[in-house]
C-alpha cells in the first residue's frame, strides 16, 4: 500500500558551513549506498526555503535530515515526529526571503497539502562558523546511524529500497565536482592561501573591537544561536 505513497527524503543545510552540511551529506550517503523505487524522491534542499513548498506538498511521507540546535551535547541525534517537527524546524532561517523550513511546512498546511507523516532526523551541530569547513568528526559519525534510522522508518512504513552492490559513483561530469565531501575536504586551500575567518583588514584594525559573546534573550530565557567563536582570536 505504501508503495503508492509518495515519499520525499530531504536533506537541508549549507555544506559550506561545517556541521550545517549534515543534512545534505547524509542524503548523499543514502543515495550512494541505496536505490529506491519511483515513488521515493531524494532531494538536496540546500538552503532553499519557500521554494521547497512544491516538493513538500507533493509528498505523503516526508523524511528530513538536518542539523538542529536542540541545545544537547554535540553530535547527539534526536528524532522528532509529526506535530513536534515544526517547533524544531524554526531555529534558523537560512534561505531566500528569510523563510525557514517551519514556514515551508506552514504554507503546505495552508495550501491543504500537508504530509501525512513527517520524521525529522536531526543532529546537534558542534561547530558551524567555519566557512569552507566540513563536518566535525562527532557529527560525521552520525551519518551512518541517521541513515539507519531512516531505513528503519521506511521498513516500518512499507517503503522499499535495495542496497547497492557497490556504492554509486557519480558520472564523468561530477568526478571532479568540488562539492563531493572528499573533494571538498581535500581541495580546501590552506588558511594562508585563502582567508578563512574574515578579513583581517577589518577585524584586526583599531577601529573594530570584537565583543565578548553574549547570549541573546527571548523573553527571559537566554538562547544561544550562532556564537561567533571564529572571532575569538581577535578578542
Partner 1 sequence: MSVTTTPNGYTLDTGGQRVVVDPVTRIEGHMRCEVNVDANNVITNAVSTGTMWRGLEVILKGRDPRDAWAFVERICGVCTGCHALTSVRAVEDALDIKIPYNAFLIREMMAKTLQVHDHVVHFYHLHALDWVNPVNALKADPKATSKLQQLTGPNHPNSSPGYFRDVQTRIRKFIESGQLGPFKNGYWDNPAYKLSPEADLMAVTHYLEALDLQKEFVKLHTVFGGKNPHPNYLVGGVPCAINMDGDMAAGAPLNMERLNFVKARIDEMKAFNDNVYIPDVLAIASFYKKQLWGGGLGAKSVMDYGAYPTVNYDKSTDQLPGGVILDDNWDNVMEVDPRDPDQVQEFVNHSWYKYPDESKGLHPWDGITDPNYDVSSAKGTHTNIEEIDEHAKYSWIKAPRWRGHAVEVGPLSRYTLAYAQGVEYVQDQVHRSVSAFNALAGTDLGAKPILQSTIGRTLARALESQYCSDMMVDDWHRLMDNIKAGDTATANMEKWDPATWPKEAKGVGITAAPRGALGHWIRIKDGKIENYQCVVPTTWNGSPRDPEGNIGAFEACLIGTPVERAEEPVEILRNLHSFDPCLACSTHVMSEEGEELVSAKVR
Q: Which residues bind partner 1 (CB under 8 A)?
A: 50-51, 53-54, 69, 71, 86-87, 89-94, 96-100, 102-103, 105-107, 109-112, 199, 201-202, 205, 207-211, 214, 216, 218, 223, 225-226
Contact 20, 125 (CB under 8 A): yes
Dihedral through CA 141, CA 144, CA 150, CA 154, nearest 10? Answer: -170
Nearest CB to partner 1, comparing residues 33 and 126: 126
Nearest CB to partner 1, comparing residues 27 and 89: 89
Nearest CB to partner 1, comparing residues 42 and 106: 106
Nearest CB to partner 1, comparing residues 178 and 216: 216
Neighbours of 101 (CB within 10 A): 28
Contact 31, 43 (CB under 8 A): no
What are 42's three cell numbers?
531524494
Least distance to partner 1, CB of residue 108, Å: 10
Nearest CB to partner 1, comparing residues 137 and 170: 170
Least distance to partner 1, CB of residue 2, Å: 26
Least distance to partner 1, CB of residue 84, Å: 12
**For the chain, how many residues are written?**
235
**CB < 8 Å & 24+ apart, contacts of 203-206:** 203/231, 203/234, 204/234
Nearest CB to partner 1, comparing residues 126 and 228: 228
Gap between the Cα atoms of 137 and 130, Å rounded: 14
Least distance to partner 1, CB of residue 165, Å: 29
Please report where in the chains the cell 573594530 appears, as a residue: 208
Least distance to partner 1, CB of residue 187, Å: 18
Least distance to partner 1, CB of residue 232, Å: 14
Nearest CB to partner 1, comparing residues 83 and 182: 83
Least distance to partner 1, CB of residue 204, Å: 12
What are 147's three cell numbers?
541513515
Gap between the Cα atoms of 154 and 29, Å rounded: 16
* Residue 106, φ and ψ in degrees, nearest 5: -60, -45
Dihedral through CA 159, CA 51, CA 30, CA 59, nearest 10? Answer: 0
Amino acid at each position: 500500500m505504501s508503495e503508492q505513497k509518495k515519499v520525499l527524503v530531504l536533506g537541508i543545510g549549507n555544506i559550506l558551513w561545517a556541521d550545517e552540511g549534515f543534512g545534505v551529506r547524509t542524503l548523499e550517503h543514502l543515495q550512494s549506498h541505496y536505490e529506491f523505487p519511483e515513488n521515493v524522491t531524494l532531494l538536496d534542499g540546500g538552503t532553499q526555503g519557500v521554494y521547497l513548498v512544491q516538493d513538500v506538498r507533493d509528498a505523503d511521507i516526508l523524511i528530513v535530515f538536518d542539523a538542529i540546535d536542540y541545545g544537547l551535547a554535540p553530535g547527539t541525534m534526536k528524532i522528532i515526529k509529526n506535530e513536534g517537527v515544526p517547533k524544531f524546524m524554526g531555529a534558523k532561517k537560512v534561505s531566500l526571503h528569510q523563510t525557514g523550513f517551519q514556514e515551508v511546512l506552514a504554507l503546505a498546511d495552508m495550501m491543504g497539502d500537508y504530509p501525512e507523516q513527517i520524521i525529522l532526523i536531526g543532529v546537534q551541530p558542534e561547530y558551524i562558523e567555519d566557512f569552507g569547513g566540513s563536518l566535525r568528526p562527532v557529527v560525521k559519525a552520525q551519518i551512518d546511524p541517521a541513515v539507519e534510522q531512516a531505513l528503519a522508518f521506511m521498513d516500518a512504513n512499507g517503503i522499499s529500497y535495495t542496497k547497492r552492490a557497490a556504492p554509486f559513483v557519480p558520472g564523468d561530469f561530477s568526478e571532479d565536482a568540488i562539492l563531493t565531501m572528499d573533494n571538498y575536504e581535500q581541495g580546501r586551500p590552506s588558511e594562508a592561501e585563502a582567508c578563512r575567518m574574515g578579513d583581517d583588514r577589518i577585524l584586526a584594525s583599531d577601529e573594530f573591537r570584537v565583543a565578548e559573546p553574549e547570549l541573546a534573550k527571548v523573553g527571559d530565557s537566554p538562547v544561544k544561536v550562532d556564537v561567533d567563536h571564529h572571532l575569538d582570536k581577535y578578542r
